[in-house]
Amino acid sequence: MAALEIVRIPVLSDNYVWLVHDPASKATMVVDPAVADPVLDAAKARGWTITDIWNTHWHPDHTGGNAAIKDATGCRITGPAAEYERIPTLDVRVTGGDVVRFGSKQADVWDVPAHTAGHIAYHFADDAAIFVGDTMFAMGCGRLFEGTAEQMFANMQKFRSLDDATRVYCAHEYTLSNARFAIGVDPDNHALAARLAAVEAARAAGEATVPTSIGEERATNPFFRAADADELARIRALKDAA
């Protein structure tokens, strides 16, 4: 089975929208479109027709392009059942344990609340890829706007169950600031120091730093590496105050 083709589309100040294409069926899906025009342009440039939008949570910088893309393409919009009242464009409501399909591909839906109460992630096991929205970032995690440190710690434990090679598609370019914070929390981590240097060089050259991988996060992400919810809460409070 042909692998997914995944295109990163930078929008707004630091958001990434993911354009995901299934070569076997020609279906094309958009994850968390903040805006419409750059997404439509990227699909058109590749000769792809958008058939689906998948939302991870309700925040406007993840759903703002829904209506216009749907108007332009007639696509189907899937998102968290727990947040349907805040995402009026949803056609399909899903929750943890569901399986959602597009084209010849399918993904498992994971409940990962904390950043928002109904936040979900989409795991393509056969393609070793997971779309995590704002739950986890490269060397970071999302703010606890609508949930608890206990919930976020449970999310990290779920992610830790994945193979190191699994690619993690998050929704923001926060890597440099996260790395600089992380080295203060974990100053003796040689893998983290090396990654910070690599990220500084990449950003200086104008290069993106995501997707990341479970293996990279296992080695360098202080939230991923936290021993328990109390430690995660302490680190999150430090990050919020930074």
Which candidate in 21, 115, 119, 123 is catalytic? 115
Active site residue 186: no
Which candidate in 21, 32, 52, 62 is catalytic? 62
End-to-end CA distance of the chain: 46
Active site residue 119: no
Which candidate in 21, 57, 119, 123 is catalytic? 57
List C-alpha distances in Å: 206 to 64, 140, 173, 200.
Answer: 26, 20, 11, 10
Active site residue 230: no
Which candidate in 21, 119, 123, 172 is catalytic? 172
Structure tokens at 223: 């939230």
For residues 130, 132, 135 and 139, what is the CA-based torsion angle, rounded to 10 degrees? Answer: 60
Which candidate in 59, 111, 123, 127 is catalytic? 59
Which candidate in 22, 32, 52, 61 is catalytic? 61
Phi, psi of 131 (to 5 degrees): -105, 115
Query: E strands along the chain, which residues?
Result: 5-11, 15-21, 27-31, 49-54, 76-80, 92-94, 99-102, 105-111, 120-124, 129-133, 136-137, 140-141, 167-170, 212-213
- CB < 8 Å & 24+ apart, contacts of 200-203: 200/176, 203/175, 203/176
Active site residue 123: no
Q: Report the alpha-carbon distance of residue 234 to residue 207 in Å, rounded.
A: 31
Known catalytic residues? 57, 59, 61-62, 115, 134, 172
